Amino acid sequence: MRTLLALAAVLAVAAALALSLGPTGWRAPWAMSDVVLALRAPRVALAAVVGASLALAGVAMQAVVRNVLADPYVLGMSGGATAGAVAALANQLPAGPGAAAGAAAAVALVRALCRGAFSPARLVLTGVTVGAIAASAAGVMLVLSPAQRLLRGAQSWLFGGVSIAPWSIIAAAAALVAGAAIWSGRRAPAIDRLSLGDDVATSLGTDVGRLRRALLAGAVALTASAVALSGLIGFVGLIAPHAARTLVGAGHRLLIPAAVLLGAALLVVTDAVARTAFAPREVPVGLVTALIGGPWFLVLARRELA
């Protein structure tokens, strides 16, 4: 519990620093309080919600495939989201809803192709293949499109970025995260048993198929929500769960809230760096998380596969 309180304090400090960072030379009619409340606060809140969504989705996906190297996009969601976003932009529609639909469609296709006895390896390999095909289709659409507007919009979305969103949308996304965290927290013992294998979990009274389907549905909903709001932001769903395990252990009763807090704090900090490190220009936050998460993943993979 002390660790969770410490992580909550870290998130609060990160949010306070993010609210204070940025240009200060504002002219009337903009007062500094207006800048914080109208511009920075919604962005910080959205970064926290998206980070928490990706972290919780990462925990769920790792439980489903029983692999700590899995992330929310492992079942082809990144490729599906890319194709959905590009198709939406090509038809002059918002990229976010198209991306969410594409991610959900990719997972549905993966599940349809993996009917039968559950196999984590087959699920992951099928997801990688479906994601690659969808990403290739998006690339073809970009190459064949004569509109530079489509290319610029797709690039902005593919690199990931946190912007200002209405409070109603932020509240809806936060409610989804909170509901998913409460649901999964209440089922933490069953999720722990799932990591022991299907036979052991079943013998201990766990409905393995039902729990796995629910976890997968929750991961898809959280990831779709995150990509609809901020585009593709990688590695948060991998770094936060792993860092949480080193702090609180593998038990999901503490792992779930710890990962949520860490994911929120991580994206708040990286977004603050993205918008201030090279001011007045802004770096897409997805590039910052990739620069941090890439080396982390290599170290983690070396340790897990050694």
In a domain, 251, yes or no: yes
**What does the alpha-carbon distance between residue 268 and residue 266 come to, in Å, rounded to a whole number?**
6
Q: Quick one: tokens of 206?
A: 């766990």
Q: Quick one: tokens of 76?
A: 């082809």
In a domain, 24, yes or no: no
In a domain, 25, yes or no: no
In a domain, 18, yes or no: no
Residues of the chain with pLDDT under 70: 22-35, 37-38, 146-156, 301, 304-306
* Tens-place pLDDT, residues 113-126: 888 777 888 888 89
CB 100, CB 107: distance < 8 Å = no
**What does the alpha-carbon distance between residue 124 and residue 172 come to, in Å, rounded to a whole number?**
30
The total of structural domains in the chain comes to 1
Burial label, 253 (beta-carbon count in 10 A; 0-12, 13-18, 19+): middle
In a domain, 13, yes or no: no
- The confidence score (pLDDT) of residue 29 equals 52
**What does the alpha-carbon distance between residue 254 and residue 259 come to, in Å, rounded to a whole number?**
9
In a domain, 45, yes or no: yes
Best CA proximity match to 238, nearest among 120, 70, 78, 74: 70
CB 284, CB 69: distance < 8 Å = no
pTM above 0.75, yes or no: yes
CATH number of the domain that residue 91 is part of: 1.10.3470.10
- The confidence score (pLDDT) of residue 35 equals 62
User: CB within 8 A of 172, min separation 6: which ones?
Assistant: none
Query: Is the N-terminal amide bond of 280 cis, ω within 30° of 0?
Result: yes
**What does the alpha-carbon distance between residue 244 and residue 90 come to, in Å, rounded to a whole number?**
40
In a domain, 180, yes or no: yes
Q: Quick one: tokens of 188?
A: 């933490």
In a domain, 33, yes or no: no
Q: Quote the domain boundaries for residue 79.
A: 2-6+41-305
Q: DSSP string spanning 87-122?
A: HHHHTT--HHHHHHHHHHHHHHHHHHHT-SS--HHH
